[in-house]
Structure 1
Amino acid sequence: MREKHKPLEENNYWPGYVDALVNVVLNMLFMVGIMAVGLVSLNVEALGNFKLARQAQQLYQINEENMLLAALGTFIAAIPEIPKPVPASTPVTPALAPPAPVVIRPEPPKEEPAKPPTALRVGRQRAAPVLVDEKQQLSERMQWGDQASIGVLEFEPFAFRVSGAQISQIRQLVAQTNAGRWSLAIAVDGNETTTRESFWRLSQIRQQLLLTGVPQEAITLRTVNILPPSTGSSRRVFIAHLRYS
Protein backbone atom coordinates (compact mmCIF):
# COMPACT_ATOMS: atom_id res chain seq x y z
CA MET A 1 0.00 0.00 0.00
CA ARG A 2 1.48 3.19 -1.12
CA GLU A 3 1.59 6.14 1.20
CA LYS A 4 -0.15 9.27 0.06
CA HIS A 5 2.17 12.28 0.16
CA LYS A 6 0.56 15.51 1.23
CA PRO A 7 1.55 18.55 -0.76
CA LEU A 8 3.96 20.78 1.17
CA GLU A 9 2.56 24.21 1.95
CA GLU A 10 5.27 26.76 1.26
CA ASN A 11 5.06 30.37 2.58
CA ASN A 12 5.62 32.90 -0.23
CA TYR A 13 7.13 36.04 1.42
CA TRP A 14 8.25 37.87 -1.72
CA PRO A 15 5.08 39.99 -2.32
CA GLY A 16 5.15 41.34 1.23
CA TYR A 17 8.90 42.03 1.06
CA VAL A 18 8.57 43.92 -2.22
CA ASP A 19 5.63 45.96 -0.88
CA ALA A 20 7.54 46.95 2.28
CA LEU A 21 10.66 47.80 0.28
CA VAL A 22 8.64 50.02 -2.09
CA ASN A 23 7.08 51.87 0.86
CA VAL A 24 10.49 52.45 2.41
CA VAL A 25 11.92 53.77 -0.87
CA LEU A 26 8.95 56.11 -1.40
CA ASN A 27 9.25 57.47 2.14
CA MET A 28 12.97 58.04 1.67
CA LEU A 29 12.37 59.86 -1.62
CA PHE A 30 9.75 62.06 0.07
CA MET A 31 12.15 62.95 2.89
CA VAL A 32 14.95 63.68 0.40
CA GLY A 33 12.61 66.01 -1.52
CA ILE A 34 11.67 67.90 1.65
CA MET A 35 15.34 68.22 2.63
CA ALA A 36 16.26 69.48 -0.85
CA VAL A 37 13.56 72.19 -0.76
CA GLY A 38 14.71 73.26 2.73
CA LEU A 39 18.36 73.40 1.71
CA VAL A 40 17.56 75.51 -1.37
CA SER A 41 15.51 77.96 0.73
CA LEU A 42 18.26 78.24 3.35
CA ASN A 43 20.88 78.72 0.63
CA VAL A 44 18.90 81.57 -0.96
CA GLU A 45 18.41 83.27 2.41
CA ALA A 46 22.10 82.85 3.31
CA LEU A 47 23.17 84.38 0.00
CA GLY A 48 20.87 87.36 0.58
CA ASN A 49 22.25 87.94 4.07
CA PHE A 50 25.82 87.64 2.77
CA LYS A 51 25.17 90.28 0.08
CA LEU A 52 23.64 92.66 2.64
CA ALA A 53 26.56 92.16 5.02
CA ARG A 54 29.05 92.76 2.22
CA GLN A 55 27.28 95.95 1.14
CA ALA A 56 27.25 97.20 4.75
CA GLN A 57 30.97 96.45 5.06
CA GLN A 58 31.73 98.32 1.84
CA LEU A 59 29.69 101.32 3.00
CA TYR A 60 31.53 101.31 6.32
CA GLN A 61 34.89 101.24 4.52
CA ILE A 62 33.80 104.15 2.33
CA ASN A 63 32.78 106.15 5.41
CA GLU A 64 36.15 105.35 7.04
CA GLU A 65 38.03 106.56 3.96
CA ASN A 66 35.91 109.73 3.80
CA MET A 67 36.58 110.47 7.47
CA LEU A 68 40.32 109.92 6.93
CA LEU A 69 40.33 112.28 3.96
CA ALA A 70 38.36 114.88 5.95
CA ALA A 71 40.80 114.67 8.86
CA LEU A 72 43.76 114.93 6.48
CA GLY A 73 42.24 117.98 4.77
CA THR A 74 41.58 119.62 8.14
CA PHE A 75 45.18 118.95 9.22
CA ILE A 76 46.61 120.38 5.99
CA ALA A 77 44.38 123.45 6.23
CA ALA A 78 45.49 124.02 9.84
CA ILE A 79 49.20 124.18 8.92
CA PRO A 80 50.25 127.84 9.15
CA GLU A 81 51.77 129.45 6.09
CA ILE A 82 55.46 130.38 6.16
CA PRO A 83 55.74 134.20 6.07
CA LYS A 84 57.74 135.57 3.17
CA PRO A 85 60.87 137.60 4.06
CA VAL A 86 60.32 141.34 3.74
CA PRO A 87 63.21 143.08 1.92
CA ALA A 88 64.90 145.80 3.91
CA SER A 89 64.02 149.23 2.66
CA THR A 90 66.83 151.65 1.79
CA PRO A 91 66.86 154.64 4.15
CA VAL A 92 66.23 157.92 2.40
CA THR A 93 68.06 161.08 3.44
CA PRO A 94 65.61 163.86 4.38
CA ALA A 95 67.62 166.37 2.36
CA LEU A 96 67.23 164.36 -0.82
CA ALA A 97 63.61 163.29 -0.36
CA PRO A 98 61.59 165.62 1.84
CA PRO A 99 58.48 164.12 3.33
CA ALA A 100 55.33 164.76 1.40
CA PRO A 101 52.58 166.68 3.16
CA VAL A 102 49.95 164.46 4.72
CA VAL A 103 46.52 165.05 3.32
CA ILE A 104 43.71 163.85 5.52
CA ARG A 105 40.71 162.88 3.54
CA PRO A 106 37.39 162.10 5.15
CA GLU A 107 36.46 158.45 4.93
CA PRO A 108 33.28 157.73 3.02
CA PRO A 109 30.43 156.50 5.20
CA LYS A 110 30.29 152.73 5.43
CA GLU A 111 27.17 151.13 4.19
CA GLU A 112 25.42 148.84 6.59
CA PRO A 113 25.65 145.29 5.15
CA ALA A 114 22.47 143.46 4.46
CA LYS A 115 21.42 141.07 7.16
CA PRO A 116 22.11 137.44 6.16
CA PRO A 117 19.19 135.08 5.74
CA THR A 118 18.03 133.37 8.89
CA ALA A 119 17.70 129.97 7.23
CA LEU A 120 19.35 128.22 4.30
CA ARG A 121 17.22 125.29 3.28
CA VAL A 122 18.25 122.61 0.79
CA GLY A 123 16.48 119.26 0.84
CA ARG A 124 13.42 118.18 2.76
CA GLN A 125 11.39 120.72 4.70
CA ARG A 126 11.39 120.11 8.45
CA ALA A 127 8.93 121.22 11.08
CA ALA A 128 9.64 124.64 12.57
CA PRO A 129 9.49 123.50 16.26
CA VAL A 130 12.30 120.98 15.62
CA LEU A 131 14.58 123.67 14.21
CA VAL A 132 13.72 126.08 17.03
CA ASP A 133 14.55 123.46 19.67
CA GLU A 134 17.85 122.52 18.03
CA LYS A 135 18.78 126.19 17.51
CA GLN A 136 18.06 127.00 21.16
CA GLN A 137 20.12 124.10 22.50
CA LEU A 138 23.05 124.79 20.17
CA SER A 139 22.97 128.51 20.96
CA GLU A 140 23.16 127.77 24.68
CA ARG A 141 25.97 125.24 24.31
CA MET A 142 28.01 127.34 21.84
CA GLN A 143 27.21 130.68 23.56
CA TRP A 144 26.21 132.36 20.32
CA GLY A 145 23.93 134.93 21.89
CA ASP A 146 21.02 136.81 20.35
CA GLN A 147 23.18 138.94 18.02
CA ALA A 148 24.46 136.00 15.95
CA SER A 149 23.09 135.43 12.45
CA ILE A 150 22.29 131.73 12.25
CA GLY A 151 21.60 129.83 9.04
CA VAL A 152 20.61 126.19 8.56
CA LEU A 153 22.09 124.08 5.75
CA GLU A 154 20.38 120.70 5.34
CA PHE A 155 21.73 117.58 3.60
CA GLU A 156 19.95 114.60 2.11
CA PRO A 157 20.00 111.32 4.13
CA PHE A 158 23.01 109.75 2.36
CA ALA A 159 24.66 112.93 1.01
CA PHE A 160 28.04 113.99 2.41
CA ARG A 161 29.28 116.44 -0.24
CA VAL A 162 28.13 120.04 -0.62
CA SER A 163 25.86 120.44 -3.63
CA GLY A 164 25.98 123.26 -6.17
CA ALA A 165 22.95 124.96 -4.64
CA GLN A 166 24.52 124.80 -1.19
CA ILE A 167 27.81 126.26 -2.48
CA SER A 168 26.00 129.22 -4.04
CA GLN A 169 24.10 129.86 -0.80
CA ILE A 170 27.32 129.72 1.25
CA ARG A 171 28.95 132.26 -1.08
CA GLN A 172 25.90 134.49 -0.84
CA LEU A 173 25.98 134.27 2.96
CA VAL A 174 29.68 135.19 3.11
CA ALA A 175 29.23 138.08 0.66
CA GLN A 176 26.49 139.63 2.83
CA THR A 177 28.55 139.62 6.05
CA ASN A 178 31.50 141.59 7.36
CA ALA A 179 34.56 140.14 9.06
CA GLY A 180 33.76 138.02 12.08
CA ARG A 181 33.84 134.55 13.53
CA TRP A 182 32.12 131.57 11.93
CA SER A 183 30.84 128.74 14.10
CA LEU A 184 29.64 125.50 12.48
CA ALA A 185 27.67 123.20 14.79
CA ILE A 186 25.53 120.13 14.27
CA ALA A 187 23.35 118.22 16.72
CA VAL A 188 23.94 114.46 17.07
CA ASP A 189 22.37 111.69 19.12
CA GLY A 190 25.58 110.20 20.52
CA ASN A 191 25.87 107.44 17.90
CA GLU A 192 29.44 106.97 16.64
CA THR A 193 28.45 106.53 13.00
CA THR A 194 26.25 109.64 12.89
CA THR A 195 28.98 111.62 14.66
CA ARG A 196 31.51 110.70 11.96
CA GLU A 197 29.06 111.54 9.18
CA SER A 198 28.26 114.87 10.87
CA PHE A 199 31.95 115.78 11.15
CA TRP A 200 32.39 114.98 7.47
CA ARG A 201 29.57 117.40 6.55
CA LEU A 202 31.06 120.07 8.83
CA SER A 203 34.45 119.65 7.13
CA GLN A 204 32.88 120.05 3.69
CA ILE A 205 31.21 123.35 4.66
CA ARG A 206 34.44 124.55 6.32
CA GLN A 207 36.31 123.87 3.07
CA GLN A 208 33.78 125.97 1.13
CA LEU A 209 34.16 128.83 3.64
CA LEU A 210 37.94 128.70 3.17
CA LEU A 211 37.51 128.83 -0.61
CA THR A 212 35.41 132.00 -0.27
CA GLY A 213 38.23 133.75 1.60
CA VAL A 214 37.25 133.23 5.25
CA PRO A 215 40.40 132.86 7.44
CA GLN A 216 40.89 129.40 8.87
CA GLU A 217 41.40 130.73 12.40
CA ALA A 218 37.93 132.33 12.26
CA ILE A 219 36.13 128.99 11.76
CA THR A 220 35.23 126.53 14.52
CA LEU A 221 33.62 123.08 14.16
CA ARG A 222 31.72 121.20 16.81
CA THR A 223 29.23 118.36 17.19
CA VAL A 224 26.84 118.66 20.15
CA ASN A 225 24.83 115.89 21.76
CA ILE A 226 21.25 116.95 22.33
CA LEU A 227 18.41 115.35 24.26
CA PRO A 228 16.05 114.21 23.01
CA PRO A 229 17.50 113.79 19.47
CA SER A 230 15.20 114.68 16.59
CA THR A 231 14.83 112.87 13.29
CA GLY A 232 17.55 113.87 10.84
CA SER A 233 19.33 116.17 13.29
CA SER A 234 22.74 114.90 12.13
CA ARG A 235 22.02 116.29 8.63
CA ARG A 236 21.24 119.91 9.62
CA VAL A 237 24.33 122.12 9.96
CA PHE A 238 23.85 125.43 11.79
CA ILE A 239 26.11 128.19 10.45
CA ALA A 240 26.47 131.05 12.94
CA HIS A 241 28.21 134.34 12.05
CA LEU A 242 29.37 136.36 15.06
CA ARG A 243 30.76 139.85 14.61
CA TYR A 244 33.90 140.82 16.41
CA SER A 245 33.04 142.80 19.54
Structure 2
Amino acid sequence: MFHQLLTEDDTKCLKGIKNSVNDPDGKLSNWSFNNNSAGFICNLVGVACWTEREDRLLSLQLRDMKLSGQLPQSLQYCQSLQTLDLSGNRLSGTVPAQICSWLPYLVTLDLSSNDLSGSIPSELSKCVYINNLVLSNNRLSGSISEQLSGLLRLKRFSVANNDLKGAIPLSFENNSKVDFAGNSGLCGSPLGKCGNLSRKSWKIIIAAGVSGAVFSILLGFGYFWCCGRKTKSHPQAR
Protein backbone atom coordinates (compact mmCIF):
# COMPACT_ATOMS: atom_id res chain seq x y z
CA MET A 1 0.00 0.00 0.00
CA PHE A 2 2.82 2.39 0.94
CA HIS A 3 4.63 1.63 -2.35
CA GLN A 4 1.43 2.33 -4.27
CA LEU A 5 1.10 5.74 -2.61
CA LEU A 6 4.71 6.59 -3.53
CA THR A 7 4.07 5.55 -7.13
CA GLU A 8 0.95 7.72 -7.25
CA ASP A 9 2.97 10.67 -5.97
CA ASP A 10 5.59 10.30 -8.71
CA THR A 11 2.86 10.08 -11.34
CA LYS A 12 1.20 13.15 -9.83
CA CYS A 13 4.53 14.96 -10.03
CA LEU A 14 5.00 14.23 -13.73
CA LYS A 15 1.39 15.07 -14.58
CA GLY A 16 1.78 18.41 -12.85
CA ILE A 17 4.98 19.19 -14.75
CA LYS A 18 3.39 18.40 -18.11
CA ASN A 19 0.32 20.50 -17.33
CA SER A 20 2.20 23.52 -15.96
CA VAL A 21 4.92 24.12 -18.57
CA ASN A 22 4.61 25.28 -22.15
CA ASP A 23 6.04 22.69 -24.53
CA PRO A 24 6.12 24.29 -28.02
CA ASP A 25 7.98 21.40 -29.69
CA GLY A 26 5.91 18.66 -28.07
CA LYS A 27 8.93 17.10 -26.37
CA LEU A 28 6.68 15.69 -23.67
CA SER A 29 4.04 14.38 -26.05
CA ASN A 30 4.75 10.76 -25.08
CA TRP A 31 4.00 11.53 -21.44
CA SER A 32 0.74 9.56 -21.35
CA PHE A 33 -0.65 8.40 -18.04
CA ASN A 34 -3.30 5.97 -19.25
CA ASN A 35 -0.98 3.00 -18.71
CA ASN A 36 -1.20 1.37 -15.28
CA SER A 37 1.50 -1.28 -15.80
CA ALA A 38 4.48 -1.43 -13.44
CA GLY A 39 7.32 0.86 -14.44
CA PHE A 40 5.44 2.65 -17.21
CA ILE A 41 6.63 6.11 -16.14
CA CYS A 42 10.24 4.90 -16.39
CA ASN A 43 9.88 4.86 -20.19
CA LEU A 44 8.81 8.48 -20.48
CA VAL A 45 11.17 10.95 -22.15
CA GLY A 46 13.73 12.32 -19.72
CA VAL A 47 12.70 10.03 -16.87
CA ALA A 48 14.87 7.44 -15.14
CA CYS A 49 13.83 5.19 -12.25
CA TRP A 50 15.69 3.29 -9.58
CA THR A 51 14.72 0.01 -11.26
CA GLU A 52 12.62 -0.78 -14.35
CA ARG A 53 10.10 -2.68 -12.25
CA GLU A 54 9.59 0.10 -9.75
CA ASP A 55 7.95 3.46 -10.45
CA ARG A 56 10.33 5.39 -8.19
CA LEU A 57 11.92 8.37 -9.87
CA LEU A 58 15.69 8.67 -9.72
CA SER A 59 16.38 11.29 -12.37
CA LEU A 60 14.47 13.87 -14.39
CA GLN A 61 16.48 15.40 -17.24
CA LEU A 62 14.52 17.75 -19.50
CA ARG A 63 17.32 19.97 -20.80
CA ASP A 64 17.20 21.92 -24.08
CA MET A 65 13.49 21.36 -24.72
CA LYS A 66 12.41 25.04 -24.99
CA LEU A 67 10.09 24.55 -22.02
CA SER A 68 8.73 27.77 -20.54
CA GLY A 69 6.74 28.76 -17.49
CA GLN A 70 7.74 28.64 -13.83
CA LEU A 71 9.32 25.78 -11.93
CA PRO A 72 6.37 23.44 -11.28
CA GLN A 73 5.17 23.15 -7.69
CA SER A 74 4.24 19.55 -8.45
CA LEU A 75 7.95 18.74 -8.02
CA GLN A 76 7.10 18.38 -4.33
CA TYR A 77 5.67 14.94 -5.17
CA CYS A 78 8.96 13.66 -6.70
CA GLN A 79 10.55 13.17 -3.29
CA SER A 80 12.90 10.32 -4.27
CA LEU A 81 14.50 12.36 -7.07
CA GLN A 82 18.29 12.66 -6.98
CA THR A 83 18.92 14.49 -10.26
CA LEU A 84 16.89 17.40 -11.63
CA ASP A 85 18.23 18.92 -14.84
CA LEU A 86 16.05 21.61 -16.44
CA SER A 87 18.91 23.50 -18.07
CA GLY A 88 18.75 25.15 -21.47
CA ASN A 89 15.06 25.98 -21.38
CA ARG A 90 13.07 29.21 -21.04
CA LEU A 91 11.86 28.85 -17.47
CA SER A 92 11.16 32.08 -15.61
CA GLY A 93 10.19 33.19 -12.12
CA THR A 94 12.21 32.43 -9.01
CA VAL A 95 14.01 29.42 -7.60
CA PRO A 96 11.51 28.05 -5.03
CA ALA A 97 12.80 28.39 -1.49
CA GLN A 98 11.07 25.07 -0.68
CA ILE A 99 12.87 23.03 -3.35
CA CYS A 100 15.11 21.21 -0.84
CA SER A 101 12.06 20.29 1.23
CA TRP A 102 10.33 19.04 -1.91
CA LEU A 103 13.38 17.07 -3.08
CA PRO A 104 15.35 16.18 0.07
CA TYR A 105 17.68 13.68 -1.65
CA LEU A 106 18.89 15.92 -4.47
CA VAL A 107 22.47 15.26 -5.56
CA THR A 108 22.41 17.35 -8.75
CA LEU A 109 20.33 20.47 -9.43
CA ASP A 110 20.96 22.13 -12.79
CA LEU A 111 18.78 25.14 -13.63
CA SER A 112 21.35 26.89 -15.82
CA SER A 113 20.60 28.76 -19.04
CA ASN A 114 17.04 29.75 -18.27
CA ASP A 115 15.41 33.10 -17.47
CA LEU A 116 15.19 32.73 -13.68
CA SER A 117 15.27 35.89 -11.56
CA GLY A 118 15.19 36.88 -7.91
CA SER A 119 17.69 35.82 -5.29
CA ILE A 120 19.44 32.51 -4.66
CA PRO A 121 17.47 31.13 -1.69
CA SER A 122 19.53 30.60 1.45
CA GLU A 123 17.27 27.57 1.99
CA LEU A 124 19.31 25.73 -0.64
CA SER A 125 21.62 25.00 2.29
CA LYS A 126 19.05 22.36 3.30
CA CYS A 127 19.96 20.22 0.25
CA VAL A 128 22.44 18.32 2.41
CA TYR A 129 23.26 15.64 -0.20
CA ILE A 130 23.87 17.98 -3.11
CA ASN A 131 27.12 17.61 -5.08
CA ASN A 132 26.32 19.83 -8.08
CA LEU A 133 24.44 23.12 -7.92
CA VAL A 134 24.45 24.90 -11.28
CA LEU A 135 22.56 28.20 -11.61
CA SER A 136 24.64 29.95 -14.27
CA ASN A 137 23.26 31.98 -17.20
CA ASN A 138 20.11 33.33 -15.61
CA ARG A 139 19.07 36.73 -14.23
CA LEU A 140 19.56 35.97 -10.53
CA SER A 141 20.31 38.96 -8.30
CA GLY A 142 21.30 39.70 -4.72
CA SER A 143 24.19 38.12 -2.87
CA ILE A 144 25.44 34.57 -2.29
CA SER A 145 24.31 33.51 1.17
CA GLU A 146 26.93 32.45 3.72
CA GLN A 147 24.57 29.61 4.62
CA LEU A 148 25.54 27.84 1.39
CA SER A 149 28.94 27.28 3.00
CA GLY A 150 27.23 24.52 4.97
CA LEU A 151 26.86 22.34 1.86
CA LEU A 152 29.72 20.03 2.78
CA ARG A 153 29.27 17.64 -0.18
CA LEU A 154 29.22 20.38 -2.79
CA LYS A 155 31.78 19.73 -5.54
CA ARG A 156 30.54 22.09 -8.22
CA PHE A 157 28.85 25.43 -7.65
CA SER A 158 28.34 27.70 -10.65
CA VAL A 159 26.53 31.05 -10.70
CA ALA A 160 28.31 32.60 -13.69
CA ASN A 161 26.58 35.20 -15.86
CA ASN A 162 23.90 36.50 -13.51
CA ASP A 163 23.36 39.86 -11.77
CA LEU A 164 24.83 38.90 -8.40
CA LYS A 165 26.70 41.30 -6.13
CA GLY A 166 28.59 41.37 -2.86
CA ALA A 167 31.40 39.29 -1.43
CA ILE A 168 31.75 35.62 -2.32
CA PRO A 169 31.69 33.46 0.85
CA LEU A 170 35.14 32.31 1.91
CA SER A 171 34.19 28.64 1.53
CA PHE A 172 34.25 29.15 -2.27
CA GLU A 173 37.69 30.82 -2.44
CA ASN A 174 39.26 27.72 -4.02
CA ASN A 175 36.56 27.34 -6.68
CA SER A 176 37.15 28.14 -10.33
CA LYS A 177 36.95 31.80 -11.36
CA VAL A 178 34.83 30.70 -14.34
CA ASP A 179 31.98 29.67 -12.03
CA PHE A 180 31.58 33.27 -10.75
CA ALA A 181 32.47 35.29 -13.85
CA GLY A 182 29.91 37.54 -15.54
CA ASN A 183 28.58 39.08 -12.31
CA SER A 184 29.80 42.69 -12.30
CA GLY A 185 28.89 43.19 -8.63
CA LEU A 186 30.63 40.10 -7.22
CA CYS A 187 34.02 40.35 -5.55
CA GLY A 188 36.39 38.36 -3.39
CA SER A 189 38.22 35.11 -4.09
CA PRO A 190 38.35 33.55 -6.61
CA LEU A 191 37.56 36.77 -8.55
CA GLY A 192 39.93 39.01 -6.62
CA LYS A 193 39.77 41.71 -4.00
CA CYS A 194 36.67 43.64 -3.03
CA GLY A 195 37.54 47.18 -4.13
CA ASN A 196 41.10 48.23 -3.34
CA LEU A 197 41.25 46.23 -0.14
CA SER A 198 41.03 42.52 0.54
CA ARG A 199 38.15 41.10 2.56
CA LYS A 200 40.56 40.53 5.48
CA SER A 201 41.60 44.19 5.38
CA TRP A 202 37.97 45.30 5.45
CA LYS A 203 37.33 43.11 8.49
CA ILE A 204 40.33 44.65 10.27
CA ILE A 205 39.14 48.18 9.46
CA ILE A 206 35.61 47.44 10.63
CA ALA A 207 36.88 45.82 13.83
CA ALA A 208 39.15 48.80 14.49
CA GLY A 209 36.27 51.20 13.94
CA VAL A 210 34.02 49.33 16.34
CA SER A 211 36.78 49.16 18.97
CA GLY A 212 37.42 52.89 18.59
CA ALA A 213 33.75 53.70 19.02
CA VAL A 214 33.50 51.57 22.16
CA PHE A 215 36.65 53.20 23.59
CA SER A 216 35.24 56.68 22.92
CA ILE A 217 31.99 55.83 24.70
CA LEU A 218 33.83 54.44 27.72
CA LEU A 219 36.11 57.50 27.80
CA GLY A 220 33.06 59.76 27.75
CA PHE A 221 31.43 57.90 30.64
CA GLY A 222 34.71 58.13 32.59
CA TYR A 223 34.95 61.87 32.03
CA PHE A 224 31.38 62.57 33.18
CA TRP A 225 31.84 60.28 36.20
CA CYS A 226 34.99 62.14 37.28
CA CYS A 227 33.30 65.51 36.79
CA GLY A 228 30.36 64.37 38.87
CA ARG A 229 32.64 63.32 41.74
CA LYS A 230 34.49 66.67 41.70
CA THR A 231 31.20 68.57 41.83
CA LYS A 232 30.11 66.62 44.89
CA SER A 233 33.49 67.11 46.59
CA HIS A 234 33.48 70.93 46.11
CA PRO A 235 29.93 72.22 46.49
CA GLN A 236 29.37 75.91 45.70
CA ALA A 237 29.07 78.38 48.56
CA ARG A 238 25.62 79.71 49.10
Common fold by TM > 0.5: no
Higher RCO, Cα 8 Å, sep 6+: 1
Q: TM-score, normalised by structure 2?
A: 0.18
**Structure with greater proportional strand content:** 2
Q: Is the helix fraction higher in 1 or 2? A: 1
